[in-house]
Structures are given as C-alpha cells and as structure tokens.
Amino acid sequence: MTISVGLGQYVCGKAADETWVIHGIGSCIGLVLADSSARAAAMAHVVLPEVINGDLAHPAKYAETVVPFLIERLMELGASSRALGAYVVGGAQMLTVARLGDIGRRNVETVLESLKENKVRVFEARVGGTIGRTLRWEAARGRAVVSRVGHPDEVLTKPVHEYKEVGEHATGARR
C-alpha cells in the first residue's frame, strides 16, 4: 500500500508493507527519521522554515518544530533518540518570495540545524539545486529512495541501516 504525505503532514510507524511517498518536493523538505534497530520511522513534508502566526497545531509543517515533534512520536514507538538517523531531501530554489527570501535554502538550514541540536545524524541528504524530487520510504525494509525526472532512482539508505527483519505490522499515527 502507498501512502502519500501531503504538505505539512507526517506519518510514523513500525515496519509494515507500506511505502510512504512525498511527490514533487521543490522548496519543501522531505524528512525521514529512522531507528533501524527499533524498526521505526517517521516521514514529514516540511513546508516553511518557521512557524507563522503561532500555528503550533501543525508541527510537521515547519522546519523549526518538526524534528523534536517526530523524535517524540518515534520514542512512543520504542525508538531511541540516540539511534536515530535522518534522510533530508528537497530545499530546491523553486520559490522566492520577497519577504521570505529563498525558502528552500532556509528550510534546509533550519532542518539541518534542528537535527544537529537534537543530536540526530544525517545519513544522507539530497538538497538544493533547482529540480524537484520525489522521496519514498519503503517501510518494510527501512529504505529511502529519491527520484528525479530524467534520472534513475537513487537508494539513499546504506545496507547497514536497512531493517534486518520483515513482517511486523504497522503501528503508529498518520496525520
């Protein structure tokens, strides 16, 4: 089953026969946090660098709130914050708004800084440029794959970080 993660949405769970996908990532960030030993992961479609108008009801939407929010969700599933690794995709220069500047660059900087502050290793990042990407998370295998038009798919997850056992059913929340 394929689950699309829309703007400002997230999904989290344990290994399952699912693929989570964020299509057409431009200036947004597709973020996956995973703990391979707990076989738990979370994916978010991050839209903007910082919270606008005090909108704390949508923590996955903002680069400044998404990382601690996802860490908390993953710890509820038995993940260890020390075992987490991140896959960061997007942040292309697709949209420049005078009052906001280069949103893609700011999204990347803010997410990477938050990962550093929360002591989450970045396993792989495919950021910047001017071309959109699609990010898939194969939840049964614990594998991140990125696609770009006119290029072959690229597996971001090294074999050492893939899940070792398959067959557990998903548990967790989608929003």
Q: How far apart are CA 4 and CA 46, in angstroms?
A: 14
Cα dihedral 136/139/144/148 (nearest 10)? -10
> Residue 118: which domain range?
2-161
The phi and psi torsions of 59 (rounded to 5 degrees) equal -65, -25
Residue 166 resides in a domain: no
Residue 40 resides in a domain: yes
Instruction: Give the CATH number for residue 55.
Output: 3.30.1330.200
* pTM of the model as a whole: 0.89
Query: pLDDT tens, position by position, for the chain (175 residues)?
Result: 999 999 999 999 998 889 999 999 999 999 999 999 999 999 999 999 999 888 888 999 999 999 999 999 999 999 999 999 999 999 998 755 556 678 999 999 999 999 999 999 999 999 999 889 999 999 999 999 999 988 999 999 999 888 876 444 444 444 5
Residue 114 resides in a domain: yes
User: What's the number of domains the chain is made of?
Assistant: 1
By the 8 A CB rule, do 88 and 47 touch?
no
Residue 171 resides in a domain: no
Residue 168 resides in a domain: no
By the 8 A CB rule, do 46 and 28 touch?
yes
Residue 59 resides in a domain: yes
Residue 174 resides in a domain: no
Residue 28 resides in a domain: yes
